[in-house]
Every structure is written in structure tokens, then in C-alpha cells.
Amino acid sequence: MVKVIEINIGFISEKTNEYPAFKPDGLRFKTSEKTIKLKTDHSYKIVIKTQPVIDFNFLDIDGIRIVLHPVQPAGSGEYTCTWNTTGIPITNNNNRKDLILILSGSGGSIERTLQTKFYAENDSHGSSGEKLETMIWRCSLDTYGTITVSEEIFKNKRLNVIQTK
């Protein structure tokens, strides 16, 4: 039996307490029509919320395993972790970096590729654009624990941009 779930993921700069920006790129790149702008040599707090509650333990970002910390009360379906972008090079003009995210635990696993561009800390282009408060993934969870995204929404206070799988 297939179960319908929703996963919300948000990135917040630990230095500035701001959300990353995103911008529409149309069909210029293969992964997505939108690019998430991130800073190099930077730490991000990542907040993950699931509805209904799904048990996750790890978030792998580009091969780096990060332990998820359940938000109290435990069993609420909300997790946090910190991700550091030190060592990720600045993305050259007219290029994008595909960032592979794997969310896993006893509740199942999901792999998703995000189209990103990394900017230097002091590059104002890295902050321009709509602010990405949360990505919403509407998904199905099969009996084998595989989670498949059917719809992805980039959300901020003023705008919802929807991208169907």
C-alpha cells in the first residue's frame, strides 16, 4: 500500500539567520528550472519536518553524512542538523552544481538532486532573488520504504513556485 507524505526542508544561514535565495533559470540547465543560491565556507541550519511523522536518522549531502537531531518532543517528525559548505568551490558563471541529498532512516529513504550555485561570502549576487523559506516535497512512500517525489514547491512569504516532478 502506498502512503502519501509531505517533507518540508529549510536552510537557514547560521551567520546571518537568513534564508538562501533562489532564482528561475528556465530550461538553461538539465536538473531544474530553479537554482538555489548558497554561500561557500558557510554553515546552514537545516530544518526537516514530515507529515505524517516519518523516522529519519541521516541526511547525506554530496556524500557527507550528517546525523539528524530530533526536535523535542521526540517523535514529532521534525529534525535539525548543521551543514558546512567549507571546501565547496565557487560555481563558475553559466554553470550549476548538482547537489545530491539523501534522507534516510527506518521510515524510508529519498534521494533528490538540487540545482545550486555557490557564491563567495561577500558576493551580493549570492543573496539576490526570492528567499527560499522551505522546499515542500509531496511524496509517496511504498511498502519497501522508497519515497518518490510527485511535486516540489519552493515557498517564501510572497511566492509559491511549483515544479512537478
pTM of this structure: 0.92
**pLDDT surpasses 80 at 161:** no
pLDDT tens for each residue of 90-114:
999 999 999 999 999 999 999 999 9
Map 97-143 to HEC letters: EEEEEEEEECCEEEEEEEEEEEECCCCHHHCCCEECCEEEEEEEECC
Any residues with CB less than 8 A from the CB of 44 and at least 6 apart, and which? 11, 12, 13, 14, 20, 38, 82, 83, 84, 85
Residue pair 95/13 in contact (Cβ under 8 Å)? The answer is no
Query: For residue range 130-143, what is the model confidence (pLDDT) as tens digits?
Result: 999 999 999 999 99
Q: In the predicted model, is pLDDT for residue 65 greater than 90?
A: yes
Res 26 pLDDT > 60: yes
Domains of the chain (ranges plus CATH)? 9-135 (2.60.40)
Tell me the three cell numbers of residue 6: 509531505
> Percentage of residues in the chain with pLDDT exceeding 70?
95
pLDDT score recorded for residue 159: 63
3-state secondary structure of 29: coil
